[in-house]
Amino acid sequence: MSKVLNFGSLNIDYVYSMDHIIKPGETQAATSRGIFPGGKGLNQSVALALAGSDTYHAGALGQDDNSILTDVLKKAGVKLDYLKTHALPTGHTIIQVDKSGQNSIILYAGANRSLEMAEIDETFKHFRKGDLLVLQNEVNGLERMMLQASSIGMKIAFNVSPFTDDLLKLPLELCSYVLVNEIEGGAIAEMDPSSDPIKLIDGIRKKIPRCAVVLTLGTRGSILSYPDEKPRTCGCCKVKAVDTTGSGDTYTGFLLTMLMDGKEPDEAMRVAAAAAAISVTRKGAACSIPTLEEVMKSPLLNNIPDFKG
C-alpha cells in the first residue's frame, strides 16, 4: 500500500461564536469560545487517515502544550515520525464563526513556517515512487518539497490555500492534483472568479495542462478535471451548517484517499462531498471529521443534489 506524506501546518484554533463577522472599528462580545485542533495540514491528515490512507504528518510544532494537536492526530491513526518541535510558538488562529456557520480566520504561522531544508530533505528519504505528497500553503519550503517528491517519483497533491501570489512561481506542473476554490482558481487562470466554472477550469487547465484540477465551489459543489477528459461534477449535500471550518480539508482528505484507492472519480467525489457535509454539522475543524464508516452509512451519500454550476 502506498504511503501519504502530508507536510503541513498544525494550529491551535481559538474559535469565537459571533452574531456576525466583526466589521472594522466594531467591538462585539462573543457568545462562546472553543479551543480546537486545526491547521489545514493537520485537518487534512486527520481526514486522510479517517478515510483509510496510511498517513504520515510532517511539520513543526512550537513550545506550547501541543497535546490537543498530537492527540487528535494519534487518535485518527496518523503517524508522527517526522514531526519536529522548534523554539517558536505553535501556529494558532483566531476564528470567528457567525450564526450561519460562515467563518473568518486570522492565522499566526509560528513554528509552521520554520521548517529547515535539511529536515525536509531527511523526511523524503523515508518515501518512494508511488507514494503521495500532500501540501497546502501554511508551511515554508513548498518548492523544495515539490522538487524532492518529484525527483523520487512521488505523486503530489497541492491544495492552493490560503492563496498568496508567490504560489504562482512554484513548479505547479509537477503536481498530479491541484485543488482550488474559485478565488484561487481565478488567480491561477487570471480570470474573474465568478466566471462560469467550466470556463474557469479551462482557464486553469491552460496554465497547468498536465495536472488534474479540483475546483471546489462551496454549496454549489465541485468539479474534477483530468487532462483530455470531460470535467466531472458533483453537487453539495444540504445540511444545517454549524461550523464550516475544515470542510474543504475534509473533502480533500477523502477525495485523495478514494482516488489513491482506485475508486472511480465520480464515486470519490460523492464520498468526499458527503464527508464534508457531515463535518459542517459539527463544531471545530479536525474534531468534526467523520470516519469512512460513518460516511458510508450516511443517508447523505445517496442524496447528493445535482451540481449547481
Helix (H, G, I), strand (E, B) or coil at 11: strand
Residues 104-123: x/- map of binding to ligand RIB (CB under 6 A)?
-x-x----------------
Interior CA angle at 58 toward 210 and 275, to 5°?
Answer: 65
Nearest-approach distance from CB 150 to ligand RIB, in angstroms: 26
Task: Give the DSSP letter string of 51-113.
Answer: HT-EEEEEEEE-SS--HHHHHHHHHHT-B-TTEEE-SSPPEEEEEEE-TTS-EEEEEE-GGGG
Q: Which is nearer to ligand RIB, 40 or 270 (CB)?
A: 40
Query: Does the protein bind ligand RIB through residue 184 (CB under 6 A)?
Result: no
Nearest-approach distance from CB 8 to ligand RIB, in angstroms: 9
Within 13 Å and on the Cβ side, how many CA atoms surround 47? 34
Answer for which of 16, 18, 43, 120 binds ligand RIB (CB under 6 A) is 43
Q: Which is nearer to ligand RIB, 38 or 62 (CB)?
A: 38
Nearest-approach distance from CB 152 to ligand RIB, in angstroms: 28
Query: Does the protein bind ligand RIB through residue 8 (CB under 6 A)?
Result: no
Query: Does the protein bind ligand RIB through residue 57 (CB under 6 A)?
Result: no
Residues 120-139: x/- map of binding to ligand RIB (CB under 6 A)?
------------------x-
Query: Does the protein bind ligand RIB through residue 93 (CB under 6 A)?
Result: yes
Query: Does the protein bind ligand RIB through residue 40 (CB under 6 A)?
Result: yes
Beta-carbon contacts of 139 under 8 Å, excluding residues fewer than 6 positions away, are 7, 8, 9, 41, 59, 60, 109, 112, 113, 115
Distance, CA of 177 to CA of 152 (rounded, Å): 17
Query: Does the protein bind ligand RIB through residue 39 (CB under 6 A)?
Result: yes
Distance, CA of 193 to CA of 208 (rounded, Å): 17
Q: Which is nearer to ligand RIB, 107 or 217 (CB)?
A: 107
Nearest-approach distance from CB 240 to ligand RIB, in angstroms: 20
Distances (CA, A) of 171 to 213, 231, 242: 15, 23, 37
Distances (CA, A) of 199 to 141, 231, 235, 308: 32, 11, 18, 14
Q: For residue 118, what is its C-alpha cell?
A: 535539511
Answer for which of 285, 287, 289, 295 binds ligand RIB (CB under 6 A) is 285
Nearest-CB residue for ligand RIB: 38
Q: Kindly list the residues in this chain that would bind ligand RIB in the complex (CB under 6 A).
A: 9, 11, 13, 38-40, 43, 93, 105, 107, 138, 245-246, 248-249, 285
